[in-house]
Chain A
Amino acid sequence: MEAISEAKTKQGLLFTLGRHLNRESVFKLSLVAPLQLLLWFLLIIPFIIVIYLSFVKWQPVFGSWTEAPWVWFENFQKLFTEIRFLEALGRTLAIVVIAVTLEFIFALGLALLFTRNFFGKRLFTSVILYPMMLPWVVVGFIFYLLFLDHGLVNSILTTIFGATATISWLRHSVPAMSAIILGDVWQWTPFMFLLLYSGLSALPSEPKEAAMTLGATPWQIFRYVTFPSLKPVILIAIIIRALEAFKIFDLVFIMTGGGPGTATETLSIYIYQIGFRFGQLSYAAALAIVILITVSIVTRLAVRPLFEKEG
């Protein structure tokens, strides 16, 4: 009796599977499967390995990773007691907040300016976009040279103020961080400008015209008409830039190497040091997971207003 009911169940399953797997769905599956398998291979499996590594104590200098001892949450615990990590996190957040705010202010100003017609607008648009096209490494070198003791910045300050400017920009923490932030603002304001300018150009002119007819001042039009309409674009621009700025590496690596000491060490530089120079891959894996979860939560919260409006 049992054998019969088992056979029936098998038949039933095959029937259900067969009903779903008609020729069309098999064809669809065969189209999607290679990419899915590739994705599994490239993303999911390494990610599982990362999760595994974060729970073991392993460095390549200990031998095979498959024989590493299980330490549960030790790597995660270490993360929250490691001053160098917490400082790097703080610095990275400071760079994100200051740089992205400055980029947003400059980009919005430029975008508003460029909505008007003026002589040489096309040329200026191209010029403004150039920094964004430069590789990070090149920007790093440019700003490194600018902020050297005998660099252009000190020369300009000397010309303006008369007395010889001898600011050691890259030797002290606050000036060095300022130089890095300026480098980031210089390179990425154009990107923000491009997004905001596109957003502004795509706004319908009717609401503005209606406001003008009703006697609104230019500030009131901006405050109550343009800005609210531009909010989704602003949000997306800020999220994209914040995520990018959070990963800042090249500029810092070239300008200061994270120094003096660890005064300009950001999260990416810290992970690079820990993972690639010291080979503490288990700890680096835990670090990566925590950052991934944090960034995902922050991003989700940031984009929430967009979806709420849609809903």
Chain B
Amino acid sequence: MRGMKLLRMAMTFIAVVFLFSIIGPQTGLSGQATWGATAAERALNGIKALMDAGKVKRGENFKIMIHSGQRGQLAPVVEKLNRLTGLNAEVVVIGFEPDIHTKAMNEAVVKSGQFDLFLGFSNWTGDFAEAGLIVPLDEWVAKYSPEVDQGPNAFVAPLDRFTTRYKGKFYALGMDNDAFVLFYRKDLFNDPTERGNFKAKYGRLLTLPETWKEFDQLAEFFDRPAKGIRGAHLYSTRFFTYTSWAPRFVSKGGIYFDPKTMNPMINTSGGVKALQEHIDVTQKHMFAEAYTGDWSVSYDRFPAGQIFMAVAWPSLGQFAEDPEVSKIAGKVGFAKFPGSRLKGKLIRATPHVVGWSLTVSRYGKSPEVGYLIAQWLNSPSVSTEVITTKGTLDPFRQNHFENRKLMQTYGPELGPVLRKNTEQSFPDISLRGSNEYLDVLNLNLQSAVTGQISAKAALEKTAAKWQEITNRLGRKEQLKAWQSEIKGYPRHIRELWVDLGKVSPVMAGL
């Protein structure tokens, strides 16, 4: 009798194991069944399990370094997290964006354990990882499934790659979408007289610009300095000129570095042409603040009705459509980012400028709990709540674009345009030393835009300096990071590189 009982128990155990081995991996239930049905639930249950195991105490303080522009979005949900878990998480607000990098790198040196999470620029992840400040997340991503690249709530590709990975490993959870959008004055664009005049002048119908050539034409046509309206606004400031040059360059098939040697590939005819086009349109059809102001100039001038077209972050749409601060509310149009025609194909390339990603400190109280806090904040449901509040974090998950309440804050037209622009967006240089690479590029581009040096000289100087930086930081490791980074570019750009013989299909991840 006893033997039979034992045999039955053993058979039942084998059957259960067998069932799980078949069903589990196919449906992804093995992790989800353990931790919960949603990413938020799995994060909360994970925290509770770690508390029960005594790995973290109730009331333990977890500090999240954020920028002041995100306080309104994150502080309320962090309070909610504390109510749900019994933790004592708090946001530490930094007012000046570059200070987040400085303070985080300081933590990498002093290892004080003062911070548990950093919400920094997506392209700082390389610096943080190489300094040993943050931990790779692959193990926990597999265990708790944050729904980054699978399921209906996944990130809009390619954000799932370049806001989360460095050298092929998961190091961050992207919390933002900074793909640029082209904004324009719909009232002027739709005006029958303007349309007639445009056709008379250029011999074609007035349409939204598909190419940079058309963009420059529109900037010229709608440039009315005597009436206080300038044709366009693209950034040419000390820290952001690259955002105006790079989309022209990349859409012409440009790539920053050779993926075989790490030699700069910007000083090419395409690179020089892209810069010359930008110089011409900036000098002729923009306010001088395009060079001398900061990023906020378009946030003042466009809502004031003084610019026909502006290129900026999605949040400009929220400002321009807000009747309390804007003179052109209801007159704002949103357009897909222009591109270049190559071999009969239209190649659009939208710059993803900055973007914010959550990373987990190696020196925090419990990196695993830190990760779970990040997963909870990043989860489809909580991040929707975060982004519905006005701030610097914008929609990045597929479900965000389908959430009616969230999309209302952007107006009915911006959502679909932003999603399209995101799908063709490419990242800032995200290598170790990204700040330095971009700064050298910026200062030389700005010197060219302000007429101090020629376009060719600017790119030559940048390329020479980039070589120096790469040599100092270690060519082999930088090359490894770059080879991984290019796989985060949108598919159509990688295909173009392969087509132009700049990258092999394997290296392009195709």
Binding site for B on A (CB under 8 A): 59-65, 148-149, 168, 170-173, 256-263, 273, 276-280
Contact = CB atoms under 8 A, between A and B. Distances in A.
A171 B237 contact: no
For the complex of A and B, 10 pairs with smallest distance between CB atoms: A261-B447, A259-B238, A260-B450, A257-B238, A170-B292, A149-B288, A278-B436, A61-B130, A60-B131, A60-B105
Most buried by A among B101, B288, B453: B288
B434 to A, nearest CB: 10
A259 B130 contact: no
B98 A276 contact: yes
A259 B237 contact: yes
Interface string B287-316: 111011010000000000000000000000
A262 B109 contact: no
A88 to B, nearest CB: 12
A65 B452 contact: no
B98 A148 contact: no
A279 B432 CA distance: 11
Contacts of B131: 60-63
22 contacts: A59-B473, A61-B432, A62-B131, A63-B132, A148-B288, A149-B289, A168-B292, A170-B291, A172-B450, A256-B238, A256-B292, A259-B237, A260-B446, A260-B447, A260-B452, A261-B453, A262-B443, A273-B439, A276-B98, A277-B436, A277-B439, A278-B433
Contacts of A170: 288, 291-292
Nearest to B449: A260
Contact of B101 (A59, A64, A256, A277): A277
B394 interface: no
Contacts of B443: 258-259, 261-262
B292 A61 contact: no
A260 B291 contact: yes
Given A60-B109, A277-B435, A279-B127, A168 B288 contact: yes
Given A257-B238, A278-B436, A62 B130 contact: yes
A257 B98 contact: no
B112 interface: no
Interface of B is mostly: helix
B150 interface: no
Nearest to A261: B447
A273 B438 CA distance: 12
A173 B452 contact: yes
Contacts of A277: 98, 101-102, 435-436, 439
Contacts of A262: 443, 447
Interface residues of B, number: 35
Nearest to B292: A170
Contacts of B294: 257
Nearest to A279: B105
B108 interface: yes
B10 to A, nearest CB: 52
B435 A148 contact: no
B221 interface: no
B433 A61 contact: yes
Interface in B352-390: none
B239 interface: yes
Contacts of B350: none
B444 interface: yes
Contacts of B238: 256-260
Most buried by B among A63, A65, A258, A261: A261
Given A60-B108, A64-B132, 6 more contacts: A61-B126, A61-B131, A260-B291, A260-B446, A273-B439, A277-B436
Interface string B437-469: 001000110110111110000000000000000
A149 B287 contact: yes
Interface string B228-262: 00000000011100000000000000000000000
Contacts of A60: 105, 108-109, 127, 131
A284 to B, nearest CB: 12
Interface string B263-306: 00000000000000000000000011101101000000000000
A280 B101 CA distance: 13
Nearest to B107: A60
A90 B469 CA distance: 24
B298 to A, nearest CB: 15
Contact of B292 (A59, A171, A258, A276): A171
Contact of A148 (B292, B439, B451, B473): B292
Nearest to A264: B238
Contact of B435 (A149, A256, A278): A278
B127 A61 contact: yes
A259 B235 CA distance: 14
B288 A261 contact: no
A171 B288 contact: yes
B105 A278 contact: no
Contacts of B237: 257, 259
B109 A278 contact: no
A168 B287 CA distance: 10
A60 B108 CA distance: 7
A153 to B, nearest CB: 13
B493 to A, nearest CB: 27
